Chain A
């Protein structure tokens, strides 16, 4: 396999996979959209082409079948119903998985699961697929293999016992519903007058099936068929005894009918648990709880695999117009350089030099902006995976949720886009899992049974604002306060003093989950604080707002780019330090008369409020005589929600700095966010304010 061609293929294929993800979910909402169908067909076709050229047979096999199915769909010969959707989505997951593996460096792909391929073939040929019922392996749908009990003559006619045994097996296999409502064994009774020892006739067979249906239907909603009309395939002797093949054919018919009934039921009233024999949205696991639903795990695997795959090669697509802009600006830069060189040689007037420098300033700023823009990608890249995540999760939980995406075109630095993917997935899954209520609960509360989640992105100056809003059940600040006390995080008095906003923010603390039931999806209490950390690492902030019964809104604010930071330069003797400007609120002269000590903590009076005061020189230049603080300055900063005053020796003004990482040995050091090289070549340490606070609280 030619590596270069493979890498090009992977870049294109990854994009197609992202697009297909969104398109496939859109298709469920509008299954007749011709443009969409064509686009999806082309997507599979293109991936197949590339895969074929590179000799990746497994990938070709799946794509080929998917493409075939879509050809039929767009010609109107096959309808994109729930069964087909599930099969296609599974095929898509397989394709997506293969691409990830190739991205991560794998060169040998596993063979395809023949069950899936056969299913797709069946759809292509116009037969509805067999039930993707689980056997031992959770992820692979398979045909239903029923085994005749031992000692049975497989070519002879089927006896009642064998028939019952087969039915039981079938029930066993079909019995994957998480609630396990349906009993494993069913006692069916032959209608009266039937000869229990003889061979079973079709009528008896039908009667038994009817009984079986009735038993299953007991838990069901009243709507829907109770009996399945089955027809023997042509050519069989309707009065003779049933053979195994006919039996299986009848079973297939039955499945088909049952699934149609199921769809009708699902459309009418959403059910909490899928029926044991109904086709499942995701290959639902057996009784053993699986760590995560497959689709969601693919979604979350994607960032992980992408991170691994990144090691191979990381690329960015840049619009050629941007490149042209940059070329122009570089040209300007060269001209200015030449001008300065000339001026250096000759006797230049101050004005001429001044002009040239002003020009240089201008061009450099423009160039900087342009180059940064090349790293920008639309937020759509992150948002793309959410429709699928929400769909799969909602279906698994039996909720009805509509996801709206706003501001997808907003541009973000590539690093940011990748770094935000995981936190956003977590927050959205929280909304689905804990926010939006079950449809019946919603109806009882007078809300529409379909919940709504809005994921939005917008630019706010030099920040990006991302928000996740749901109209679910909201959070109860009192309950949160109580939980805080229960978990020993604070005493009752302090908890009662928390305003609602602060109460909501409690959920960002480690181990704080209030979910009564820890599901596989969320509720272990390890999620929100990790999200908070990730956001803080990006120099961003989280804001939580909620109204009990109405919904919750979580807002994330991150600066547009990671690398450049506007700072306030301060100094202690000759040592320079930089404080992120976004946290700085005001600066004034230090005056010991405005300070006092409250409860052991130094405070400074600021317009009728007292703000805690910390002397940075204690930490940053210990051992230096600080008896004369008359020239010191106080910098008021905002750390989290708290205002704090930092006393520094000197304030040197604002400077935009490039953040340089400190290196592996110093990374763990609290209080520093990195280092930078100042205008005069000195190294300045960039302070990380939350870390600074940690130090002072020791």
Chain B
């Protein structure tokens, strides 16, 4: 008990805005968070069509190494991309919690993104977004920014710019 109280007071000392975060009512963006190798990423909900479990992915010989293959989503053929390769992470085996996030790009095309795990949907206040300042040209384009929120660092991804280089 005492510990809890201490922690609470400590927390408000360390992070004076903690309470504010939970009751924030200003402009915010609703994002779906997913995990890739212990990092948390976020994508705007409005870009997401659906989230599917991973079934059979039909490989397409001759395609880029980033493209895992294609799947059939109710009669529509959707290309599945391995998000790990997009961020230069080593490939991993598909697990029970892996998911394919179907995103809709600007021109109404859909692409599936394979991720390690999908977490939750959160409203992130826009004030928390910081643009990425990085020397690396390549990565910075598809990362919309970094948000520090509820003690986590969330990397915000812009699906369109990330995938357009491969189109």
Q: Which residues of A contact B (CB under 8 A)?
A: 575, 619-622, 660-666, 669-672, 674-675, 677, 681-683, 685, 695
Sample of 19 more A-B contacts, CB < 8 Å, known A619-B61, A681-B72: A575-B59, A619-B62, A661-B77, A662-B60, A662-B70, A662-B79, A663-B70, A663-B79, A664-B79, A664-B111, A665-B81, A665-B111, A665-B163, A665-B166, A671-B62, A675-B70, A682-B56, A683-B58, A685-B60
Contact of B58 among A620, A670, A671, A685 (CB under 8 A): A685
Contact of B60 among A660, A672, A681, A695 (CB under 8 A): A672
Beta-carbon contact of A662 and B77 below 8 Å: yes
Is B27 in contact with chain A by the CB < 8 A criterion?
no
Name the residue on A nearest B105 (C-beta).
A664
Given contacts A663-B109, A665-B163, A666-B67, contact A675 B61 (CB under 8 A): no
Is B167 in contact with chain A by the CB < 8 A criterion?
yes
Give the most central of A662, A664, A665, A695: most B CB within 10 Å.
Answer: A665
> Closest CB-CB distance, B78 to chain A, in whole Å?
6
Chain B positions within 8 Å of A621 at CB level: 61
Beta-carbon contact of A664 and B167 below 8 Å: yes
> Closest CB-CB distance, B44 to chain A, in whole Å?
20
Bound CA–CA A218/B27 (angstroms):
82
> Closest CB-CB distance, B59 to chain A, in whole Å?
8
Chain B positions within 8 Å of A685 at CB level: 58, 60
Bound CA–CA A178/B56 (angstroms):
66
Beta-carbon contact of B81 and A660 below 8 Å: no
Is B35 in contact with chain A by the CB < 8 A criterion?
no
> Closest CB-CB distance, A155 to chain B, in whole Å?
66
Name the residue on A nearest B64 (C-beta).
A665
- Looking at chain A's contact residues, the main secondary structure is loop
Bound CA–CA A670/B110 (angstroms):
21
Bound CA–CA A677/B81 (angstroms):
20
Beta-carbon contact of A677 and B75 below 8 Å: yes
> Closest CB-CB distance, A623 to chain B, in whole Å?
10
Bound CA–CA A661/B77 (angstroms):
7
Q: B residues 26-53 with Cβ under 8 Å of A?
A: none
Bound CA–CA A621/B81 (angstroms):
20
Beta-carbon contact of A664 and B62 below 8 Å: no
Q: Interface digits, B99-140 against A, CB 8 Å rule (1 contact, 0 not)?
A: 000000101011100000000000000000000000000000
Beta-carbon contact of A665 and B76 below 8 Å: no
Beta-carbon contact of B75 and A666 below 8 Å: no
Beta-carbon contact of A663 and B111 below 8 Å: yes
Beta-carbon contact of A695 and B77 below 8 Å: no
Given contacts A666-B79, A669-B63, contact A575 B58 (CB under 8 A): yes
> Closest CB-CB distance, A514 to chain B, in whole Å?
37
Chain A positions within 8 Å of B78 at CB level: 663
Chain B positions within 8 Å of A670 at CB level: 62
Bound CA–CA A622/B61 (angstroms):
9
Chain A positions within 8 Å of B64 at CB level: 665
Beta-carbon contact of B72 and A683 below 8 Å: yes
> Closest CB-CB distance, A615 to chain B, in whole Å?
13
Given contacts A675-B70, A677-B75, A683-B72, contact A620 B163 (CB under 8 A): no
Chain B positions within 8 Å of A683 at CB level: 58, 70-72, 77
> Closest CB-CB distance, A543 to chain B, in whole Å?
31
7 residue pairs A–B, Cβ–Cβ below 8 Å: A621-B61, A660-B75, A661-B77, A664-B107, A666-B63, A670-B62, A674-B77
Name the residue on A nearest B111 (C-beta).
A665
> Closest CB-CB distance, B110 to chain A, in whole Å?
7
Bound CA–CA A620/B63 (angstroms):
11
Beta-carbon contact of A669 and B62 below 8 Å: yes
> Closest CB-CB distance, B75 to chain A, in whole Å?
7
Bound CA–CA A550/B77 (angstroms):
50
Chain A positions within 8 Å of B109 at CB level: 663-664
Q: Top 5 nearest A-B pairs by Cβ distance?
A: A683-B58, A663-B79, A664-B109, A660-B77, A665-B79
> Closest CB-CB distance, B86 to chain A, in whole Å?
12
Bound CA–CA A662/B70 (angstroms):
8
Give the most central of B59, B62, B67, B167: most A CB within 10 Å.
Answer: B62
Bound CA–CA A664/B111 (angstroms):
9
Name the residue on B nearest A666 (C-beta).
B79
> Closest CB-CB distance, A457 to chain B, in whole Å?
33
Chain A positions within 8 Å of B76 at CB level: 660
Bound CA–CA A674/B58 (angstroms):
13
